[in-house]
Amino acid sequence: MKRLTFSFDNGPWPGATEPLLDFLARRSIKATFFVVGQRLQEPGGIELARRAHAEGHWIGNHTLTHTKPLGEDGGLARVEREIGETERLIGELAHPHRFFRPNGGGAVGPHLLSAEALGYLARNRYSVVTWTSAPGDWIAPHRPWLDNAIRDVERSDWTLLVLHDRFIAPMLDTLDRFLDELATRGIEIVQDLPPACLVMRDGVVTGDRSTFSIMGEAGRQAAAQ
């Protein structure tokens, strides 16, 4: 049976995360929310993360500022701030495996993480989570994400889908249609993460070499130190 895991990035967003959480509760779906540290510092931000956690969703780290990817500007001082400060803000809400997702415009590649970032993540026992589908719910006119996601699901036995609180909340009717389509195709929705998307687990690089395309040889060496 094919499987699909939901993840939501860049939040929390007051006014958007609440209806999304209501929707997920109605549909009995558990997801992972990869939060941005600065969003946690905004009014209502940490409360929304606490609500998501209390309702059984997992909380992951998605950098402090969500600006230039760490593979493009990833010196140690910036890495410590972007990852470490966000983890401090997440605090007790963090998943035991300390999930971290790099930002990079929806594309997997060497721009995501520098060697310094990988070394920091390894030393501090983070688990790095990528994805198999980023269908573009943030790209106007937004609703074509549905067809893109369905195509991605067709290509994969286990899809890890990236959506965004801010953009999907006004399209919950489209998300409802997507869930109906998954049911029609017999696709199981799970909270677990596909092993292929866990390129580092508790600070240890996992999987075969093809999984590490985001790392490069320098990154692999740094992560092994």
195-222: per-residue pLDDT in tens? 999 999 999 988 544 444 555 444 444 4
Catalytic residue among 57, 66, 164, 165: 164
The one-character DSSP state at 205 is E
Omega within 30 of 0 (cis) for the link into 12: yes
- Could you read off the pLDDT of 72-102 as tens digits, one per residue? 998 999 999 999 999 999 999 999 999 999 9
Question: How many angstroms separate the CA atoms of 109 and 71, rounded?
Answer: 9
User: Are 5 and 161 contacting, i.e. CB atoms less than 8 angstroms apart?
Assistant: yes
Residues 6+ apart with CB under 8 A from 130: 101, 108, 112, 160, 197, 199, 214
Quote the pLDDT of residue 109.
Answer: 80
Q: How large a percentage of the chain has pLDDT more than 70?
A: 92
Whether domain 3-224 has CATH 3.20.20.370: the reply is yes
Helix (H, G, I), strand (E, B), or coil: what is residue 100? strand
* 167 residue type, one letter: F
Strands 204-205 and 198-201, bridge-based pairing: antiparallel
Beta bridge partners of 8: 33, 163
Q: Decide if 9 is catalytic.
A: yes
Q: Decide if 164 is catalytic.
A: yes
Question: How many angstroms separate the CA atoms of 139 and 206, rounded?
Answer: 32
Long-range contact set of residues 215-220: C-beta below 8 Å, sequence gap at least 24: 215/110, 215/113, 215/118, 216/110, 216/115, 218/115, 219/113, 219/114, 219/115, 219/118, 220/118
User: Are 225 and 38 contacting, i.e. CB atoms less than 8 angstroms apart?
Assistant: no
Strands 188-189 and 99-100, bridge-based pairing: unpaired
Question: How many angstroms separate the CA atoms of 117 and 98, rounded?
Answer: 15
Catalytic residue among 9, 137, 152, 165: 9
- Could you read off the pLDDT of 17-74 as tens digits, one per residue? 999 999 999 999 999 999 999 999 999 999 999 999 999 999 999 999 999 999 999 8
* Domains of the chain by residue range: 3-224
- Could you read off the pLDDT of 134-189 as tens digits, one per residue? 999 999 999 999 999 999 999 999 999 999 999 999 999 999 999 999 999 999 99
